[in-house]
Amino acid sequence: MVDSALLAAKIAAVRDATARVVVTLNLFVAIQTCLDLAAHWLADAGWEMPGTYADVFAALARHGLIPRELATRLAAAAAFRNLVAHQYGALDWRRVYALASSELGDLDVFCATLAKRAT
Protein backbone atom coordinates (compact mmCIF):
# COMPACT_ATOMS: atom_id res chain seq x y z
CA MET A 1 0.00 0.00 0.00
CA VAL A 2 1.24 3.50 -0.82
CA ASP A 3 2.53 5.45 2.16
CA SER A 4 0.05 8.36 2.29
CA ALA A 5 2.45 10.66 4.17
CA LEU A 6 5.18 10.05 1.59
CA LEU A 7 2.70 10.58 -1.24
CA ALA A 8 1.52 13.87 0.26
CA ALA A 9 5.09 15.08 0.79
CA LYS A 10 6.12 14.23 -2.78
CA ILE A 11 3.04 15.88 -4.27
CA ALA A 12 3.71 18.99 -2.19
CA ALA A 13 7.32 19.02 -3.43
CA VAL A 14 6.20 18.81 -7.06
CA ARG A 15 3.64 21.59 -6.60
CA ASP A 16 6.21 23.76 -4.84
CA ALA A 17 8.74 23.19 -7.62
CA THR A 18 6.31 23.88 -10.43
CA ALA A 19 5.19 27.10 -8.75
CA ARG A 20 8.79 28.33 -8.73
CA VAL A 21 10.11 26.93 -11.99
CA VAL A 22 9.15 29.87 -14.19
CA VAL A 23 10.88 32.44 -12.00
CA THR A 24 13.99 30.31 -11.71
CA LEU A 25 14.14 29.62 -15.42
CA ASN A 26 13.70 33.28 -16.32
CA LEU A 27 16.41 34.31 -13.85
CA PHE A 28 18.70 31.72 -15.39
CA VAL A 29 18.00 32.98 -18.92
CA ALA A 30 18.52 36.63 -17.95
CA ILE A 31 21.80 35.94 -16.17
CA GLN A 32 23.04 33.66 -18.95
CA THR A 33 22.24 36.30 -21.55
CA CYS A 34 24.22 38.91 -19.59
CA LEU A 35 27.11 36.44 -19.47
CA ASP A 36 26.82 35.95 -23.22
CA LEU A 37 26.93 39.71 -23.75
CA ALA A 38 29.94 40.06 -21.48
CA ALA A 39 31.84 37.27 -23.23
CA HIS A 40 30.99 38.74 -26.63
CA TRP A 41 32.26 42.15 -25.55
CA LEU A 42 35.51 40.68 -24.24
CA ALA A 43 36.07 38.67 -27.42
CA ASP A 44 35.20 41.56 -29.72
CA ALA A 45 37.62 43.85 -27.88
CA GLY A 46 40.36 41.21 -28.04
CA TRP A 47 40.61 41.07 -24.26
CA GLU A 48 41.39 37.97 -22.24
CA MET A 49 38.64 35.40 -21.80
CA PRO A 50 38.47 34.37 -18.14
CA GLY A 51 37.99 30.77 -17.07
CA THR A 52 34.88 31.33 -14.95
CA TYR A 53 31.64 33.17 -15.42
CA ALA A 54 32.21 35.30 -12.35
CA ASP A 55 35.56 36.39 -13.75
CA VAL A 56 33.93 37.53 -17.00
CA PHE A 57 32.34 40.43 -15.14
CA ALA A 58 35.55 41.13 -13.22
CA ALA A 59 37.42 41.39 -16.53
CA LEU A 60 34.96 43.99 -17.80
CA ALA A 61 35.51 45.95 -14.59
CA ARG A 62 39.31 45.76 -14.97
CA HIS A 63 38.94 47.28 -18.42
CA GLY A 64 36.74 50.04 -17.03
CA LEU A 65 33.58 48.98 -18.83
CA ILE A 66 31.50 48.41 -15.69
CA PRO A 67 32.00 49.47 -12.06
CA ARG A 68 33.76 46.95 -9.80
CA GLU A 69 30.82 46.95 -7.38
CA LEU A 70 28.47 45.94 -10.18
CA ALA A 71 30.91 43.23 -11.31
CA THR A 72 30.94 41.80 -7.78
CA ARG A 73 27.15 41.65 -7.65
CA LEU A 74 26.96 40.13 -11.13
CA ALA A 75 29.53 37.52 -10.09
CA ALA A 76 27.10 36.48 -7.34
CA ALA A 77 24.36 36.23 -9.97
CA ALA A 78 26.67 34.02 -12.05
CA ALA A 79 27.15 31.78 -9.02
CA PHE A 80 23.37 31.51 -8.72
CA ARG A 81 23.19 30.61 -12.42
CA ASN A 82 25.69 27.81 -11.79
CA LEU A 83 23.58 26.46 -8.93
CA VAL A 84 20.57 26.29 -11.20
CA ALA A 85 22.45 24.86 -14.19
CA HIS A 86 24.48 22.24 -12.38
CA GLN A 87 22.27 21.52 -9.38
CA TYR A 88 25.20 21.87 -6.97
CA GLY A 89 22.75 21.91 -4.13
CA ALA A 90 19.25 22.79 -3.12
CA LEU A 91 18.29 26.31 -4.07
CA ASP A 92 17.73 28.75 -1.26
CA TRP A 93 14.30 30.04 -2.16
CA ARG A 94 14.84 33.17 -0.07
CA ARG A 95 17.82 33.92 -2.33
CA VAL A 96 15.71 33.28 -5.42
CA TYR A 97 13.04 35.62 -4.08
CA ALA A 98 15.61 38.31 -3.24
CA LEU A 99 17.15 38.06 -6.68
CA ALA A 100 13.78 38.13 -8.43
CA SER A 101 12.28 40.91 -6.34
CA SER A 102 15.09 43.37 -5.77
CA GLU A 103 18.35 42.46 -7.47
CA LEU A 104 17.22 42.38 -11.08
CA GLY A 105 18.20 46.01 -11.34
CA ASP A 106 21.84 44.94 -11.61
CA LEU A 107 21.05 43.08 -14.82
CA ASP A 108 19.27 46.16 -16.17
CA VAL A 109 22.17 48.41 -15.17
CA PHE A 110 24.60 46.04 -16.89
CA CYS A 111 22.58 46.07 -20.11
CA ALA A 112 22.15 49.85 -20.02
CA THR A 113 25.89 50.30 -19.46
CA LEU A 114 26.75 48.13 -22.45
CA ALA A 115 24.16 49.88 -24.61
CA LYS A 116 25.56 53.30 -23.68
CA ARG A 117 29.16 52.21 -24.29
CA ALA A 118 28.28 50.74 -27.69
CA THR A 119 27.06 54.07 -29.06
For 25-63, what is each residue's pLDDT tens digit?
Answer: 889 999 999 999 999 999 999 999 999 999 999 999 999
Query: Where do the domains of the chain lie?
Result: 21-118
Please give the residue that has the higher pLDDT: either 95 or 89: 95
> Which whole-number Å values give the CA distances from 48 to 37, 45, 60, in the listed order?
15, 9, 10
Contact present, 57 and 75 (Cβ < 8 Å): yes
Report pLDDT for 118: 85
Give the global pTM: 0.78
Query: Over 70: is that where the pLDDT of 88 sits?
Result: no
C-beta of residue 70 within 8 angstroms of C-beta of residue 52: no
